[in-house]
A and B are shown apart, each in its own frame.
Chain A
Amino acid sequence: MTSIYLQLSEGAFKMTFEHTPQTATGEQNPSLARRKLHAHADLQIDRSWFDELQQRLSKNGPWDDWTLYQLTMEAEEAKRVESFEELQCLKTLPSVVPMPHQISTASKVLHEMGGRAILADEVGLGKTIEAGLVLKEYMVRGLVKRALILVPASLVLQWVRELNQKFGISAVAQKKEHTWGYDVVVASIDTAKRDPHRDRVLGTDYDIIIIDEAHKLKNKKTTNYQFATQLRKKYCLLLTATPIQNDLDELYNLITLLKPGQLGGQSEFAANFVVDKRLPKNEDQLQEALSTVMIRNRRGDGGIHFTKRFVKNIPITLSPEEKELYDAVTGFVKERYDESGGDLTSMLSLVTLQREVCSSRDAVFLTLVNLFKKTAEDSPLRAKIWGLVDKIKNIKANTKAEKAMELVKEMNEKVIIFTEYRATQEHLLQFFRNHDMVAVPYRGGMNRGKKDWMMDLFRGRAQVLIATEAGGEGINLQFCHHMINFDLPWNPMRVEQRIGRVHRLGQTEDVRIYNLCTLGTIEEHIVNLLHEKINLFELVIGELDHILERFEGGVTLEQKLAKALLESGSDQDLKRQLQSLGNSLSQIRNEVKSTEAGRNPYSPVPDLLIRTDRLGESVEVNP
């Protein structure tokens, strides 16, 4: 559907090659007459109509149609921008119903900030919509024709799609060099700053530039930042949920992009507003200075943010054959680790084996085969691997898949099953098909069209969607409120992404999350850690980021887990190690919670006492 649509309207995408906006004053145009109208404003009258009329008179035509003449006038009257204030674009957007805070943010940017602002709403409040509204409004008013939207590469298509579908703006994803000629271009900043694009971009006067995920520009020594300062623009929007991550200079740099001097020079800023790089002073003044360039809406404190979440762990006891395989694999992994003399990096892939056993035999099998291929022919390892494969052959049934099937049947509603492994996904698809249940796959490698198609199938006729990928763009599954974690990633952010697909704005039902958890395996520990210690399933989006940032300090949780697993001598030992990991996590979690002083527990800058929140409104996001 989408592709056809785009193809059809291709011709409607406008290109402007020569554009010198400073000719808003337009002295070059000979048919333009200028007069002083008022001390502050000149009147320019375009006389080209008169010349053309004279010409047609002298040639006795051709003359146009009276009905079309009237229609032209009617269209102009309908399009006329009546007042400075009213948002015109709302009349033209049947496919978006913006929330009140989005409308008020857009109006503030347009009317009070002169079109240069940082939109710093918390995650999930619709910064994209706000930016779209501002862009559309300027386009409807004829103040913006050329727009450049710089976003991370992974978001380019999503932006293009949203602008086209929601806002009816003919935006084009930058692909070839000639794409720069289009009026509205979405590109990744990393591409734009490189040759041969660089010169094209820097040589253009853009009516508006929008930069998404602008916190990536916080460091002014980076090439991205320097590139951004060189862009020529009239209006400019910077979008970020975290305007300050670590220190106040980041905020200063962002604002300098928009309005140099708004906070004074670098040294004045330091003298006036900074005590320590994390601690501001003269907060009221700082706040005032900020309020003219930044808007930050946040979720309401009292209101219902989202529907409820119910999390249930489903304990599963492995069949004797499966348990045997698990133990064998565990033994195998340990042996290798001991042999390697404690070299961690090469072992990480082995740990995967252990996680795969908890998922499905198919997953382990594939990895084992690959491992087999990689080992030298005369290696004694080969026999051992073969032994493991033999154990796989003994397994006749997948306890977990059966349990999942049972759950799905019980729910009798749409459900999404997440797994980490392609092989498991294939296995489950097959398994469900054999049991006369329609399941559709979804994975990162699919192209956009196929993803959309799978999504449509799931919405329309399939009860089950089996996905290996939760991240990335565009999978919004609000119509489904059951999810099964067939296995859990060790990276908590990925778990959060999974949940975020279902539990987001627009979800009207309580969300039910089931974690399948095989007893007596590493999985049991992971579920325990994520659920009990981090309380992951009850955290609000954005919170996890901060916990992890403090906890990890360079080594990811994933790596720490693997290390614990490999180094522990016995089950007891492992338990103890994980216990201590868990304790430090829950400690950090409590710290994060308490520094936020309970008033706004979701602030992304818990330790910066700057109350950026006052810059926007508190928004009750009721589903």
Chain B
Amino acid sequence: MNAKQVHKYIHRYLEATNCSIIEKSPAHFTVKLSPEADRELTNRPYYWSFVDRVGAEPETMTYLLVTDKEKYEAAQQQKEQQQPAEAKPDGQAAAADAALARSFGFINTSINAPRIPREDMYFGSRKLEQLFGAAKSKGSFVYLFQEPDKRRENPYVSTPYTAWLGVNMRVEFACDRKREEIHSFGVSLATGLCVDNFHNRLLNLRLTPRLPANVHVTKNGITMGKAQTIIEQTLERKLKTYDYKWAADASARLEEELERIHSYYEPLIEHALEENKPAVQEQYEQRKAEIRWQYEPRVTASAINCGIFHLEGIE
């Protein structure tokens, strides 16, 4: 993700969670978070449990999210250079403020203004990582309907819809190294048809959580369990066609390593004093377990998110 993509991503997140953007430029947002986003992003579990228990009006935090550090800082600098000219006549007022502050404590100085923490948002930064997590925690299970095309709207004909089980899966190929793939499957609950790249198909549609008018959903032909089996089978069939040289290599490495430590520990155990033997044996077992843990090839599939999608037509 480059700076632009990050910027767009954050913008969409803020809008989706109803945050109020106070100020924005192509390089930054100043945003007052919505309660929903605040719970996810500010690491204030105690505050929120207090609010929940007392039922108080929550005070959410305001953040400065910088998506393009260089541009933002250049802009700030420019602003500062322009400002002194304007700010100068203010010097007396500032001095007066300072004097007041000295006698009354801090009153209307900037110190009293709400703190706006700054976060640099770049791919790999912790805050963005947290935002990814926030998106995921509220973007995992959906139940949606396709919005019918307005032009073809005919109040006397009901359009048939099919329910689909859609799931995005991450497949990990791991040994001491790792590679990942993302697969997206959709199974028609009417017919059991399984479609690959289902997510892309969804992206071309307009989806809504409410059932549109003049629409009827076709009765399901297969159970959810069956649909899930179909997905797993499709995935498995696909994965079986892959090249597993990496796994064979890893297994070979694993064997080699096991042999190596065997050659080290066997004489060691043999020659160890009787009372030390269990300790050496244990260490040997530990080393073996470590090496398996390190090299054993494995493929794991887990869902990123999923949902039920009601799409136009019968497929």
User: Chain A residues in contact with chain B, CB under 8 A?
Assistant: 8-12, 21-22, 24-25, 33, 35, 37-50, 52-54, 56-57, 61, 63-84, 89, 91-94, 110-111, 114-116, 140-143, 168, 170, 205, 229-230, 232-235, 256, 259-262, 264-265
Contact = CB atoms under 8 A, between A and B. Distances in A.
B142 A66 contact: yes
Nearest to B249: A40
A66 B209 contact: yes
Contacts of A111: 177
B168 interface: yes
B149 interface: no
Interface stretch (B77-85, B93-101, B150-158, B294-302): B294-302
Nearest to A61: B143
A25 B298 contact: yes
25 contacts: A12-B129, A21-B293, A37-B299, A38-B244, A41-B298, A43-B299, A43-B300, A48-B303, A52-B141, A57-B224, A57-B308, A63-B141, A63-B307, A64-B307, A65-B16, A65-B138, A71-B139, A72-B135, A92-B123, A92-B124, A110-B177, A142-B178, A168-B124, A259-B261, A265-B268
Contacts of B5: 78
Nearest to B125: A168
The interface centre, meaning the residue of B264, B267, B286 with most chain A CB atoms within 10 A of its CB, is B264
Contact of B182 (A38, A45, A77): A77
A70 B142 CA distance: 11
A275 B177 CA distance: 38
Contacts of A8: 117
A530 B287 CA distance: 50
Contacts of A93: 124
Contacts of A143: 174, 176-178
B33 interface: no
Contacts of A43: 236, 239, 299-301
Given A69-B140, A73-B199, A168-B126, A84 B297 contact: no
Contact of B170 (A44, A63, A76): A76
Given A38-B247, A84-B177, A84-B178, A72 B287 contact: no
Contact of B207 (A44, A66, A75, A141): A66
A367 B252 CA distance: 70
B304 A76 contact: yes
B139 A235 contact: no
Interface in B242-276: 244, 246-248, 250-251, 253, 257, 260-265, 267-268
B16 A71 contact: yes
B124 A170 contact: no
B30 to A, nearest CB: 17
A39 to B, nearest CB: 8
B142 A69 contact: yes
Given A41-B247, A41-B297, A69 B305 contact: yes
B228 interface: yes
B179 A70 contact: no
A33 B208 CA distance: 33
Contact of B304 (A72, A229, A260): A72
B68 to A, nearest CB: 11
Given A24-B293, A115-B294, A261-B264, A64 B130 contact: no
Given A69-B307, A72-B136, A84 B228 contact: no
Contacts of A233: 290
A40 B297 contact: yes
B142 A94 contact: no
B138 to A, nearest CB: 5
A142 B305 contact: no
The interface centre, meaning the residue of A8, A64, A84 with most chain B CB atoms within 10 A of its CB, is A64
A232 B232 contact: no
A75 B140 CA distance: 13
B9 A71 contact: yes
Contacts of B172: 142
A91 B2 CA distance: 9
Closest 4 CB pairs of A and B: A92-B124, A11-B43, A68-B139, A261-B264
A94 B122 contact: yes
B260 A261 contact: yes
B232 A45 contact: yes
B203 interface: yes
A80 B180 contact: yes
A53 B13 CA distance: 23
B236 A35 contact: yes
Given A25-B298, A39-B248, A65-B142, 17 more contacts: A8-B117, A9-B126, A11-B42, A12-B43, A12-B130, A33-B232, A47-B228, A63-B142, A64-B141, A68-B16, A69-B140, A76-B182, A92-B125, A140-B124, A142-B172, A142-B178, A143-B176
A73 B122 CA distance: 18
Interface in B227-244: 228, 232, 235-236, 239-240, 244
Contacts of B267: 265
Given A115-B294, A259-B260, A73 B181 contact: no
B217 interface: no
B1 interface: yes
B29 to A, nearest CB: 16
B109 interface: no
Interface in B108-125: 117, 122-125
A592 to B, nearest CB: 36
B201 interface: no
B167 interface: yes
A230 B181 CA distance: 36
A38 B305 contact: no
A93 B122 CA distance: 9
A41 B249 CA distance: 11
Contact of B246 (A56, A76, A84, A116): A84
A260 B264 contact: yes
B126 A49 contact: no
Nearest to A115: B176
A83 B307 CA distance: 29
B293 A49 contact: no
A463 to B, nearest CB: 24
Nearest to A143: B178
A568 B307 CA distance: 91
